[in-house]
Amino acid sequence: MKLLKFAPLALVALTSLPAMAVEKSILVYADVDPTLEILQSDGSPLPASMEMAYLPGAGLRPTQVGTRIYSNDTDKDMTLRLITSPVLANMTNPAATGVPLSVSYGGRTLNTTGVTLPAADLFPGGDSTGGSIEQLLEIRQTSAGAITNAGRYEGIVSLLLTQQP
């Protein structure tokens, strides 16, 4: 009975509170090739960005990520290549000299003409369910050494993975 006395007060208190709401929108996307993919070793997408630490006097520290290739045909060799030769450009001082980068995959230096990745090396035993063996994708300063111009350096490493016929 005592609760019923307070019910009208509780209703007034609830209706007098300011209405608060927040709306969020999330862009969801997927790049789909039904036959071929390269992902991080844990199955997540490759990172959209990777930071290279700078050690004064020594240059940029290499950055790397473990990867696996997924394919629905583990008998075919792959070709992995760079779309362009990557260079870090100084965004703060565009007149500064760019810093060339080298990229390797599983210890093989990549270039714009392509490196063959034998299916037998990637998929020993031919099992495609867990992806290929883990391979490190590594990005490093081509000629290690000091960078003389300060600033924020940015560049893009673009890879193209194809399956040979």
Scanning 24-163, the segments in alpha helix (DSSP H) are 119-122
Residue 154 lies in a domain: yes
The answer to whether 79 touches 115, Cβ cutoff 8 Å, is yes
Which pLDDT belongs to residue 130? 83
CATH number for position 82: 2.60.40.2040
Residue 104 lies in a domain: yes
Quote the mean pLDDT of the chain: 89
Provide the residue range defining the domain that includes 57: 35-163
| Average pLDDT rounded to a whole number, residues 8-23 | 65
Residue 159 lies in a domain: yes
Which pLDDT belongs to residue 165? 86
Residue 153 lies in a domain: yes
Which pLDDT belongs to residue 56? 94
CB atoms under 10 Å from CB of 105, counted, come to 22
Per residue in 110-121, pLDDT (tens digit) is 999 999 999 999
Residue 19 lies in a domain: no
- Residue 131: closest CA among 47, 36, 48, 45: 36
